[in-house]
Amino acid sequence: MSPQIYINGKYYSKEDAKISVYDHGLLYGDGVFEGMRTYSGKVFKLDQHIDRLYQSARAILLTIPISKQEMTDAVNNTVKLSGLADSYIRLVVTRGAGSLGLDPNRTSNPQVIIIVDLIALYDRKFYEEGLKIITASTIRNHPAALSPRIKSLNYLNNIMAKIEGLQAGCMEAIMLNHKGEVAECTGDNIFIVKKGRLLTPPTDAGILEGITRNAILELAGELNIPASESTLTRHDLLVADECFLTGSAAEVIPVVDIDSRPIGDGHVGQTTRLLMSEFKKMVTR
């Protein structure tokens, strides 16, 4: 059981996996990626991740050199070789090595990289006690500048907000959009519960359409919890009964405090607890 890395059809150990310093993924953040998890050896929502990867690539005019089926097989094979049952997978496609200069036409050979390793984003105690988060002053990228729907290798927008969070002693930070509405967190989508209703910002708020987010909306449907995608303001968050975040790495994590104000009674909410436990069952279905 050890991390496995696939690069363009070949498998490497962590130490031996290398790409060119001329790769535009490194030089300009020119590329796309996905983050996924396996549960008991099976990749959760693999088809949806593969679809989103190819859509992100299409949006930046990057042609992925292998088919979706070949990509699916490569991911499953890398997982198998790692021997890890519960792992985190980082799938990356870079524009490839090229000359110094932005021109993507001067690159060749996009690099398809699959890393299968472990991840622990947040300490276990935060899943029991809930996170304290802040609202960052860094707004999410304007969709007309770089659409947050593209999961690109250029994550500086999110990192700047993450730094604000860390400087305030918080592991996550809420990002508003250019209209001042709630968009998402730096690496997670956000939900609130208000009067028994589940609410999350719509994709046109300028967010990444999270696969965990969609799974939670699906679960809400199964559990008869009324849910909707609604425009949310910071005010809506501050007066919410409950709040939680979702992401492939984070899974479902409660939030109990925003900008030093307790959410609801300041404890992990009932609906949040229910969705956390139902999500645990869903991932191994």
CB of 15 to ligand PMP, least distance (A): 26
**Is 31 an interacting residue with respect to ligand PMP (CB under 6 A)?**
no
188 binds ligand PMP (CB under 6 A): yes
For residue 57, the minimal CB distance to ligand PMP (Å) is 16
Which one of 3, 25, 35, 130 is in contact with ligand PMP (CB under 6 A)? 35
| Binding test (CB under 6 A) with ligand PMP, winner from 172, 181, 184, 242 | 184
**Residue nearer to ligand PMP on the CB measure, 97 or 170:** 170
Instruction: State the nearest-atom distance from the C-beta of 264 to ligand PMP, in Å.
Output: 23
Q: Is 210 in the site for ligand PMP (CB under 6 A)?
A: yes
Q: Which DSSP string corresponds to 47-81?
A: HHHHHHHHHHHHHTT---SS-HHHHHHHHHHHHHH
Q: How far is the CB of 208 from ligand PMP (least distance, A)?
A: 4
Structure tokens at 62: 């990057």
Question: Which amino acid is present at 6?
Answer: Y
Separation between Cα atoms, residue 239 and residue 123, nearest integer Å: 27
Which of 200, 248, 271, 272 is close enough to bind ligand PMP by CB under 6 A? 248
Mind spelling out the 3-state secondary structure of 136-198? CCCCCCCCCCCCCCCCECCCHHHHHHHHHHHHCCCCCEEEECCCCCEEEECCCEEEEEECCEE
Q: Is 211 helix (H, G, I), strand (E, B) or coil?
A: helix
Stretch that binds ligand PMP, among 65-73, 160-168, 210-218, 258-266 (CB under 6 A): 210-218
Of positions 46, 79, 115, 211, contacts ligand PMP by CB under 6 A: 211
Place of tokens 């609801």: 264
Strands of 10-12's sheet in order across: 10-12, 4-7, 111-117, 88-94, 31-39, 42-43
Residue 141 as a binder of ligand PMP (CB under 6 A): the answer is no
Give yes or no for residue 143 binding ligand PMP (CB under 6 A).
no
* Among the listed residues 208, 253, 255, 263, the single contact to ligand PMP using CB under 6 A: 208
Q: Is 132 a residue of the active site?
A: no
CB of 143 to ligand PMP, least distance (A): 13
- Classify burial at 17, counting beta carbons within 10 Å of its beta carbon; exposed 0-12, middle 13-18, buried 19 or more: middle
Per annotation, catalytic residue among 151, 162, 179, 281: 151
Nearest to 173, CA basis, from 236, 181, 164, 182: 164
- Scanning residues 90 to 129, which ones bind ligand PMP (CB under 6 A)? none
158 is a contact residue toward ligand PMP (CB under 6 A): yes
Minimum CB separation of residue 188 from ligand PMP in Å reads 5
| 137: region left, alpha or beta (phi > 0 left; psi from -120 to 50 alpha) | alpha
Dihedral sign of CA atoms 271, 210, 75, 96 in order: negative
For the annotated catalytic residues, the residue numbers are 151
Residues binding ligand PMP (CB under 6 A):
35, 158, 184, 187-189, 208, 210-213, 246-249
